[in-house]
Amino acid sequence: MTTLPAGYRTAVVPPERVDEFRTVDQLAFATSPDPEVERLLPFPIPLDRLMAVEGPDGQYAAVHGSYEFAMPVPGGQVACSGLTWVAVRPDHRRRGLLRSMISTHVERSLERGEPVSALFAAESSIYGRFGYGSAADDVRLTLPRGAALRPVAGSQDLTVRLERVDPAQHAGLVEELHVQAGRGRPGWMPRATPALQARSVGDPPSWRHGFEPLLLATVRAGDDVRGLAVLARKDSWGEGGPDFTVKVRQASAVDAAATHRLWSFLLDLDLTATVETPLLPVDDPLLQLLVDTRPTRRRLNDNMWVRLLDLPTALAARTYAGPADVVLEVTDTLLPANAGRWRLVVDAAGDAEVTRTDAEAEVRLDVRELGALYLGGRSATALGTAGLVLGEDRDLARLTTTFGSPLAPVCPWIF
């Protein structure tokens, strides 16, 4: 699809060149080799999903990889190729290597039968041009110690146990609670492989930045674990005494009582002054429970970016607030097979049929905006007010309802 500059070629990455793959990534992201990390944490990307671009000297000039995800979408899940470790050596940038890698990624994902791709963008201005739409936001909170929560029945009956994380013992439990806590939330990627699970509780000394080794707090009803947090504290003694920071890497609870008990514990640890949350969905229960949100600092960021690769398959893989019958006219310069008019018919159960049509379009939009709408976290009406989705107000309002999700999408861990 896209041609590389003269002398460059696309190459698969054999096991003996994985170190070189890592070196390109380190050069692009200004990190250094860390034998301790490599010893403690297995390489997370399946080797057959690594790709490189070789430069004229035969060395890797650019690399990328992808994860095989079952991405939760409204009403189900869809095979998703999670683009990651995208890196171009600084001395080979801005000559089209990323553009060529995106083509490779798209082709290979489609060959594997993955109708959707998703990513986290290092810089948010990069991927829209390739048809990725910003499909979710996340919020990170910095809370003062003692922030009060509205009461929740049953919270008092739960107990909390604190211990050091033992990766071998706890990785499975941490993932189990992660999945349970995200039930029904679009975009909430499971970490299905042992390598990704090992990372979720990975604690190499170079990742600590002055924080203590990781702790695990479990919320229990008897022996039943109803919630957990992976966290660490950093000590700091100011003129006014201790003002430690608590950094919460993951907070997962199966219901409101466990959520309340977990955050009550995290917000009231001795010696601490501030608590930093992990990435939260914009409608996280913690935000609903806080008595006073104003002393809380909130940082909103773009979360996952979503790209529909096989439009009809992707659209039919999720459910909708039906019934509906709408004709969309889609532009897609990178993948012309997606372009043109599509009729989306949603039955009363929310299942969709997506077919080609010659009928007059009610809504016109680029595949980028369709990707933004896909997880149910964006409003077609709002995109319409920005001139990014075109149609009558009532058609955009209907599309907003049809695509909407009761829970805001998010992926709470960065891949």
Ligand X SMILES: CC(C)(COP(=O)(O)OP(=O)(O)OC[C@H]1O[C@@H](n2cnc3c(N)ncnc32)[C@H](O)[C@@H]1OP(=O)(O)O)[C@@H](O)C(=O)NCCC(=O)NCCS
Residue positions annotated with a catalytic role: 127, 415
| Residue entry with tokens 């679009």 | 186
> Scanning residues 116 to 155, which ones bind ligand X (CB under 6 A)?
121-123, 125-126, 129
Alpha-carbon span 128 to 368, nearest angstrom: 7
Alpha-carbon span 359 to 342, nearest angstrom: 9
By CB under 6 A, tell whether 95 contacts ligand X. Answer: yes
By CB under 6 A, tell whether 32 contacts ligand X. Answer: no
By CB under 6 A, tell whether 87 contacts ligand X. Answer: yes
Alpha-carbon span 82 to 316, nearest angstrom: 20
By CB under 6 A, tell whether 53 contacts ligand X. Answer: no
Alpha-carbon span 226 to 160, nearest angstrom: 10
Span near ligand X by CB under 6 A; candidates 87-95, 131-139, 165-173, 337-345: 87-95
By CB under 6 A, tell whether 375 contacts ligand X. Answer: no
By CB under 6 A, tell whether 380 contacts ligand X. Answer: no
Alpha-carbon span 69 to 84, nearest angstrom: 12
**Among 34, 59, 68, 99, which residue sits at the site for ligand X (rule: CB under 6 A)?**
99
Please answer whether residues 152 and 259 qualify as being in contact, where contact means their C-beta atoms are separated by less than 8 angstroms: yes
Please answer whether residues 64 and 83 qualify as being in contact, where contact means their C-beta atoms are separated by less than 8 angstroms: yes
By CB under 6 A, tell whether 97 contacts ligand X. Answer: yes
Residue 126 or 282: the one with the smaller Cβ distance to ligand X is 126
Smallest gap, in angstroms, from Cβ of residue 48 to ligand X? 21
- Residue-by-residue DSSP string for 200-269: HT---GGGTTTPPSPEEEEEEETTEEEEEEEEEEE--EETTEE-EEEEEEEEEESSHHHHHHHHHHHTT-
Please answer whether residues 334 and 371 qualify as being in contact, where contact means their C-beta atoms are separated by less than 8 angstroms: no
By CB under 6 A, tell whether 315 contacts ligand X. Answer: no
Residue 27 or 273: the one with the smaller Cβ distance to ligand X is 27
Residue 121 or 251: the one with the smaller Cβ distance to ligand X is 121
Residue 96 or 404: the one with the smaller Cβ distance to ligand X is 96
By CB under 6 A, tell whether 167 contacts ligand X. Answer: no
By CB under 6 A, tell whether 2 contacts ligand X. Answer: no
Residue 99 or 234: the one with the smaller Cβ distance to ligand X is 99
Contacting positions for ligand X (CB under 6 A): 28-29, 86-88, 93-99, 121-123, 125-126, 129
